[in-house]
A and B are shown apart, each in its own frame.
Chain A
Amino acid sequence: SYELTQPPSVSVSPGQTASITCSGDGLQNKYVSWYQQKSGRSPILLVHQDIKRPSGIPERFSGSNSGDAATLTITETQATDEADYYCQVWASSTAWVFGGGTKLTVL
């Protein structure tokens, strides 16, 4: 079955850039989506099809996908960006696959 690997935690200082990675075999051949989940809340879609942002998502959130790793980049990180972040792909053998999630801490 297909698996996605994320670092359990990432820390960033306010105003700096945070990068959250997601790795998987041949990931560049799949479209990656990213979700943000704040404590006690439902997930929200941040990025889909590697780089596209739904309306209402700030430009500070951007995605990329190359080789076996995708990256969610958050520029000018704010305290309100503290949340868990999940990557997700569709893998025909396993259907929907989520990464284990990364807890972003804004110190």
Chain B
Amino acid sequence: EVQLVESGGGLVKPGGSLRLSCGASGFNFSDYSMNWVRQAPGKGLEWVASLGSRVTYIFYTDSVKGRFTISRDNAKNSLYLQMNNLRVEDTAVYYCSRKGSYYFMDVWGKGTTVTVSS
């Protein structure tokens, strides 16, 4: 079964850091570009960052540039999101997703919740 499982969320103070992880199984992880997408409470989906299959490209949404770093370890079938200098507005459920054959996201994890609050 194709599966993505996120972990690492939690409660952190403004200015703090968290590292999210996404474990992949059921497919050849190294062949796929991956993404992080977030959803603030009661809000819509917001793309956060993307990483090519062999780190061929990296993209970030403007609001996280310079604060978040996306990375992967193909040997461990894992995707990561290092989040530094967190802000209250980063509070959201963070989803890991797989890029399909074109620009769509065909597999999603269940998400991990990040709460930034003093």
- Report A's interface with B, CB cutoff 8 A: 31, 33, 35, 37, 42-45, 48-49, 54, 84, 86, 88-90, 95-101
The answer to whether A42 and B47 touch (CB under 8 A), given A48-B104, A49-B102, A49-B104, is: no
A22 to B63, CA, bound (A): 24
**B residues at A contact (CB < 8 Å):** 35, 37, 44-47, 50, 59, 61, 95, 100, 102-106, 108-111
User: Given the complex of chains A and B, what is the CA–CA distance between A101 and B59 in angstroms?
Assistant: 23
A42 close to B111 (CB less than 8 A): yes
The chain A residue with its CB closest to the CB of B100 is A48
Q: Which residues of A contact B105 (CB under 8 A)?
A: 33, 35, 43, 45, 88
Contacts A42-B110, A42-B111 given; does A98 touch B45 at CB 8 Å: yes
The count of A-to-B residue pairs whose CB atoms sit within 8 angstroms is 59
How far in angstroms is the closest Cβ of chain B from A96? 4
Chain A at the B interface: SS class: strand
A sample of 10 cross-chain residue pairs with beta-carbon separation below 8 angstroms, ordered by A number, consists of A33-B105, A43-B45, A43-B105, A44-B108, A45-B100, A88-B104, A90-B102, A96-B103, A97-B47, A99-B44
Given contacts A48-B104, A49-B104, contact A96 B110 (CB under 8 A): no
- With A96-B50, A96-B59, A97-B47 already in contact, 16 other A-B pairs whose C-beta atoms are closer than 8 Å: A31-B103, A33-B104, A33-B105, A35-B45, A42-B110, A43-B45, A43-B108, A86-B44, A88-B45, A88-B104, A95-B59, A96-B37, A96-B47, A99-B44, A100-B44, A101-B44
A86 adjacent to B45 (CB under 8 Å): yes
Known: A42-B95, A96-B47, A98-B46. A54 touches B109 (CB 8 A): no
- Given contacts A95-B50, A95-B61, are A31 and B111 in contact (CB under 8 A)? no
What is the distance, in angstroms, from A7's C-beta to the closest C-beta of chain B?
A: 13
Instruction: Determine the distance from Cα of A45 to Cα of B50 in the docked complex, in whole angstroms.
Output: 18
| A89 x B95 contact (CB < 8 A) | no
Q: What residues of chain A lie closer than 8 Å to B104, measured between beta carbons?
A: 31, 33, 45, 48-49, 88
Which residue of chain A has its CB nearest to the CB of B110?
A42
B50 adjacent to A42 (CB under 8 Å) = no
